[in-house]
Amino acid sequence: MATEEVNKSSSLLQYHEMIFAAIAALNDKNGSNKSAILKYIESKYRDLPAGHSALLLHHLNKMKNNGELVMVKNNYMRANLSSPPKRGRGRPPKPKVPLPPGYIPPPPRPRGRPPKPRDPNAVASPKVSSGKPRGRPPKMIGSAGSAKATTTTGTPRPRGRPPKRTLSGSRSTSPELASYKVMVMFKVSRVQSNPFDDQKPGTSGLRKKVKVFIKPHYLHNFVQSTFNALSPLKVKGATLVVSGDGRYFSKDAIQIIIKMAAANGVRRVWVGQNGLLSTPAVSAVIRERIGADGSKATGAFILTASHNPGGPNEDFGIKYNMENGGPAPEALTDKIYENTKSIKEYFIAEDLPNVDISAIGVTSFAGPEGQFDTEVFDSASDYVKLMKSIFDFESIRKLFASPKFSFCYDALHGVGGAYAKRIFVEELGANESSLLNCTPKEDFGGGHPDPNLTYAKELVARMGLGKTNPAQEPPEFGAAADGDADRNMVLGKRFFVTPSDSVAIIAANAVRSIPYFSSGLKGVARSMPTSAALDVVAKHLNLKFFEVPTGWKFFGNLMDAGLCSVCGEESFGTGSDHIREKDGIWAVLAWLSILAYKNKDNLKEGKLVSVEDIVTEHWATYGRHYYTRYDYENVDAGAAKELMAHLIKLQASLPDVNKIIKGIRSDVSNVVQADEFEYKDPVDGSISKHQGIRYLFQDGSRLVFRLSGTGSEGATIRLYIEQYENDASKTGRDSQEALAPLVEVALKLSKMQEFTGRSAPTVIT
């Protein structure tokens, strides 16, 4: 551990945190003055040091000078949150919205004194981002190419004369800026801390209210617990990616993680421009990106709470992804959790200046263990390049060019918008007006960035699925993404495709329509509550098939072992082994590929084969799995537990269950198996228990009950209902109507209203 220089008391850091906490709690849009902050801190914290008031002023000044706080009329506000750099000095304010990855801002002007390139050990001005060429960098020449175009560091030499490099592709900027990195010395502090008891990662990382995450030491403890859980080789000297969906608090979190990475001996941190990287893009970057000096990432902190809302009163999240690009498996998340329960200290390079994450380029620092670099890079190019290697963009371009085809994509103000612009508009020729809510926002415009029929309201209305008819004829194809762009909802004109059908249809058509799969599928997999539509395809096509618990982390081993090519979850997650995360834009491109393939001969004449045609044809071949999910969000946690316990207790006797069910509805089939789903990973043999309560019926129908592992408050009960119909004359019914008997059984059997007090779910999909 890098503990040699433990020369700062923890109180220094605490001030920093206490000030942020005070400003957040006082929550005054005009900021808070020193005495208000002082009062707040005195009321909330004990054991303040002697001279506390003077220390506070000292830290307020320091934080103002290093850009973390802004002072307006004697009031302090946080910088970097609701609007990009609110610096008092220097360049004019930037636009309010985070800039898309493709956008390259004008050359950064370092604050204060210009760097002294000839003395790399000098403590130079902070926030020097070296070597950013002016203008847009060459587009997607390959990850190595794009990295070269934006990087100036090459040799990992902490000392001595910095390498003189000419920037390929750059027009001449100020020579001091373009050719040299600046070494800023930093020290490592050991900070005492106490455990929090609520840092157990859920289905996909740790998700809590922002108010919880900004508590002093909270994020730090989790990050250090993760470092401590990793093998030392994945920390010391390693390359880590840190970025996310850009939600509120991300920019602060990135700076904290950079400082902690430096202090823990990480060699370099890669950050997507403006801190933006979709979850699938992080996975792609870990797997595909090669740094200018040949470096490869071995892991990532992804900062997202995915489909949960964002903003000061909403959610933040963090999860760790592994060298294969996938979420940490349970063995590691369990270890992280154990560490959070006993953590006593963490390491941080407090004096490391904040890195300007809006400017592409490398900044180098020198610490006790040698050089540490941060590299800010274009958020989209690695991902776009990967997509182009999977799909036939030319055939999709032809589809877009046809007057018969029309398109709409709603990013719900998540990070997906940045990729949608690059791929659908710039690469495939879609009209800019076909993009809805494609500017990433820290609070997702106040909505839930959750692509379903309830929350993707604008898209649903435009596609003709709303309560009233849209003013214009709906597009042929519509899709939406969640906050971190790993989810997708696919719609046709006045037509909803269930995610369970979507993965089955992609699997059934992949080999013909998508070049990446042309030599065949290795196998397919779905999460347990996902409908069995994929099972039927697997059987028809004689493919290996796997059923795993909820959460993408369970697909990783199968893919690494070459057992699975395409997989999906009912929760609007679809993906393949091109990365180790679900991938919202990939799913849209897969559907566009199927449409392009089915329509390749009739783009000029004849009728377009529509999304609805493709789905109904699929049902005619394989039968239809009627499917619905009821979510009861933010239910009392105790009540939810009791409901689950009740359902488990009922499973003790099948005859009794069947008696109750017949009493509710005599027209449903018999329960033949009732259990809690348990999974044994076929690759590493690990066992995951309690993965959902199942009631399986003789005719293939299923009821599944689970508690969500992604919420941040109370409990969310998910009820999944499914029924198979292979009589082609009966596959065209309304799904709620077809499932009504099973829904009634599920609600009464579980005593949903009795336990939760809810007469209706929050969301139905």
Per CB under 5 A, residues contacting Co ion are 306, 482, 484, 486-487
Stretches 16-24, 128-136, 550-558, 598-606: which one binds ligand VG1 (CB under 6 A)?
550-558
Does 718 bind ligand VG1 (CB under 6 A)? Our answer is yes
Q: Which of 32, 80, 203, 599 binds ligand VG1 (CB under 6 A)?
A: 203
CB under 5 to 8 A by kind: which of Co ion, ligand VG1, none does 571 bind? ligand VG1
Q: How far is the CB of 516 from Co ion (least distance, A)?
A: 22
Helix (H) or strand (E) holding 662: helix 654-664
Stretches 17-25, 37-45, 338-346, 549-557: which one binds ligand VG1 (CB under 6 A)?
549-557
For this structure, is 189 an active site residue?
no
Nearer to Co ion, 283 or 701 (CB): 283
Nearer to ligand VG1, 203 or 509 (CB): 203
Q: Which of 179, 225, 710, 756 binds ligand VG1 (CB under 6 A)?
A: 710
Question: How many angstroms separate the CA atoms of 174 and 669, rounded?
Answer: 77
**Cβ atoms of 611 and 477 closer than 8 Å:** yes
Does 571 bind ligand VG1 (CB under 6 A)? Our answer is yes
C-alpha R_g of the chain = 27
Question: How many angstroms separate the CA atoms of 47 and 620, rounded?
Answer: 72
Q: How far is the CB of 749 from ligand VG1 (least distance, A)?
A: 20
Q: Which of 552, 554, 555, 697 binds ligand VG1 (CB under 6 A)?
A: 552
**Cβ atoms of 56 and 19 closer than 8 Å:** yes
CA 465, 470, 473, 476 torsion-angle sign: negative
Does 482 bind ligand VG1 (CB under 6 A)? Our answer is yes
Which ranges of 356-485 would DSSP assign to H, the alpha helix?
381-390, 393-401, 416-420, 457-462
- Using CB positions, name the residue nearest to ligand VG1: 306
Question: How many angstroms separate the CA atoms of 586 and 716, rounded?
Answer: 28
Does 243 bind ligand VG1 (CB under 6 A)? Our answer is no
Question: What 8-state DSSP symbol labels residue 205?
Answer: B
Q: Which of 133, 137, 216, 551 binds ligand VG1 (CB under 6 A)?
A: 551
Widest pairwise Cα distance in the chain: 85
Amino acid identity of 49? P
Does 709 bind ligand VG1 (CB under 6 A)? Our answer is yes
Does 487 bind ligand VG1 (CB under 6 A)? Our answer is yes
Question: How many angstroms separate the CA atoms of 132 and 126, rounded?
Answer: 16
Q: Which of 442, 486, 583, 725 binds ligand VG1 (CB under 6 A)?
A: 486
Nearer to ligand VG1, 283 or 306 (CB): 306
Q: How far is the CB of 273 from Co ion (least distance, A)?
A: 20
Question: How many angstroms separate the CA atoms of 284 and 632, rounded?
Answer: 34
SS3 754: helix
Q: How far is the CB of 302 from ligand VG1 (least distance, A)?
A: 9
Q: Which of 32, 239, 255, 306 binds ligand VG1 (CB under 6 A)?
A: 306
Q: Which of 152, 374, 381, 550 binds ligand VG1 (CB under 6 A)?
A: 550
For residue 118, what are the CA distances in angstroms to 195, 375, 588?
45, 21, 51
Stretches 462-470, 497-505, 596-604, 706-714: which one binds ligand VG1 (CB under 6 A)?
706-714
Q: Which of 474, 573, 692, 761 binds ligand VG1 (CB under 6 A)?
A: 573
Annotated catalytic residue, options 129, 143, 278, 306: 306
Interior angle at CA 140, CA 127 and CA 576, nearest 5: 105
Site size for ligand VG1 (CB under 6 A): 18
**Cβ atoms of 606 and 736 closer than 8 Å:** no
Nearer to Co ion, 283 or 306 (CB): 306
Does 251 bind ligand VG1 (CB under 6 A)? Our answer is no
Which ranges of 378-524 would DSSP assign to H, the alpha helix?
381-390, 393-401, 416-420, 457-462, 499-513
**Cβ atoms of 403 and 368 closer than 8 Å:** no
Does 444 bind ligand VG1 (CB under 6 A)? Our answer is no
Question: How many angstroms separate the CA atoms of 216 and 103, rounded?
Answer: 34
Nearer to ligand VG1, 664 or 763 (CB): 763
Q: How far is the CB of 629 from ligand VG1 (least distance, A)?
A: 9
Q: How far is the CB of 709 from ligand VG1 (least distance, A)?
A: 3
Question: How many angstroms separate the CA atoms of 727 and 8, rounded?
Answer: 73
Write out the two tokens for 743.
């829904």
Question: How many angstroms separate the CA atoms of 170 and 741, rounded?
Answer: 67
Task: Name residue, tokens 């993760």.
Answer: 226
Q: In degrees rounded to 5, what are phi and psi of residue 674?
A: -140, 125
Nearer to ligand VG1, 264 or 550 (CB): 550
Q: How far is the CB of 763 from ligand VG1 (least distance, A)?
A: 12
Question: How many angstroms separate the CA atoms of 457 and 447, rounded?
Answer: 10
CB under 5 to 8 A by kind: which of Co ion, ligand VG1, none does 709 bind? ligand VG1
**Cβ atoms of 317 and 279 closer than 8 Å:** no
Question: How many angstroms separate the CA atoms of 365 and 182, rounded?
Answer: 7
Does 722 bind ligand VG1 (CB under 6 A)? Our answer is no
**Footprint (CB under 6 A) of ligand VG1, residues 79-108:** none
Q: What residues line the site for ligand VG1 (CB under 6 A)? A: 203-204, 306-307, 482, 486-487, 527, 550-552, 569, 571, 573, 708-710, 718
> Catalytic residue numbers?
306
